[in-house]
Chain A
Amino acid sequence: KAGVTQTPRYLIKTRGQQVTLSCSPISGHRSVSWYQQTPGQGLQFLFEYFSETQRNKGNFPGRFSGRQFSNSRSEMNVSTLELGDSALYLCASRLQGAQGEQFFGPGTRLTVL
């Protein structure tokens, strides 16, 4: 069974631009969560989607948004990029009911110049 895939793996943008990251969960997993990882703040929860609906949201500004499609694939968007948005963005999927065990993708490394 294929793991969680994320595209692109690396991305370089400039301040003010917007970016869209994509995540394909493990087949059969309907829950997809997004995390941001930086050296200073560590791993922080962004949001979770289940059945195309946002179910949980972390403490991030409205510039961070996401969506989920009917096939459970998810995208997250960051608008008006700031230097501080440079981070590793991780996507994780899980089976419904399996709260503790999530399967993470390799991440997208975003650099904002």
Chain B
Amino acid sequence: LAKTTQPISMDSYEGQEVNITCSHNNIATNDYITWYQQFPSQGPRFIIQGYKTKVTNEVASLFIPADRKSSTLSLPRVSLSDTAVYYCLVGDHSSNTGKLIFGQGTTLQVKP
């Protein structure tokens, strides 16, 4: 499983766009990139998943360059409630395993 590297923490202000970049230099051909959000004392929540180019849903966008060695989670116009830990995961979706490998994650602090 490819290892991921993210910034430990980020600060932002309400209303700003936040971009969190994740590095995964050893990503394999079958690997997908998935992002989760976790609030204190709660389980992680799936945000978005992608393989290449750009994926957008009602919560976020995920940008993946052609070489797939990194990815960027974009949160538009954050609010205080977006303060959470964000995890980037890379996993082989052809292996049919439920094992998710979480790294340290990025603690996002949104300030008023």
**Residues from chain A with Cβ under 8 Å of B46 in the complex:** 100-103
Q: B45 on the interface (CB 8 Å rule)?
A: yes
- Interface size of B by CB at 8 A reads 25
| Residue contact A90 to B100, C-beta cutoff 8 Å | no
Q: Which 6 A-B pairs have the closest CB atoms?
A: A104-B43, A43-B102, A48-B98, A100-B34, A33-B98, A99-B93
Query: Could you tell me the distance between the alpha carbons of A96 and B46 in the complex, rounded to whole angstroms?
Result: 16
Q: What residues on A are CB-neighbors of B93 within 8 Å?
A: 99-100
B residues in contact with A107, CB < 8 Å: 41-43
Complex Cα spacing A105 to B42, Å: 8
Q: Which residue of A lies closest to B32 (CB)?
A: A100
User: How many whole Å from A9's CB to the nearest CB in chain B?
Assistant: 10
A91–B101 alpha-carbon span in the complex (Å)? 14
Chain B residues packing against A (C-beta within 8 Å): 32, 34, 41-46, 49, 87, 89, 91-93, 95-105
Task: List 4 additional A-B contacts (Cβ < 8 Å) besides A106-B41, A109-B41.
Answer: A33-B98, A33-B99, A101-B34, A105-B43
A residues 12-51 with Cβ under 8 Å of B?
A: 31-33, 35, 42-45, 48, 50
Give Cα A101 to B93, complex, Å: 10
Contact B104 A42 (CB under 8 A): yes
Residues of B within 8 A of A33 (CB): 98-100
**Residues of chain B lying within 8 A (CB to CB) of residue A92:** 43, 98, 100
Chain B residue with minimal CB distance to A33? B98
Q: Could you tell me if A58 and B43 are in contact, using CB atoms closer than 8 angstroms? A: no
Contact partner of B98 among A4, A55, A90, CB < 8 A?
A55
- 17 residue pairs of the A-B complex, CB under 8 angstroms, read A4-B43, A32-B98, A33-B99, A33-B100, A42-B102, A99-B92, A99-B93, A99-B96, A100-B46, A100-B91, A100-B93, A101-B34, A101-B49, A102-B98, A103-B46, A105-B43, A107-B41
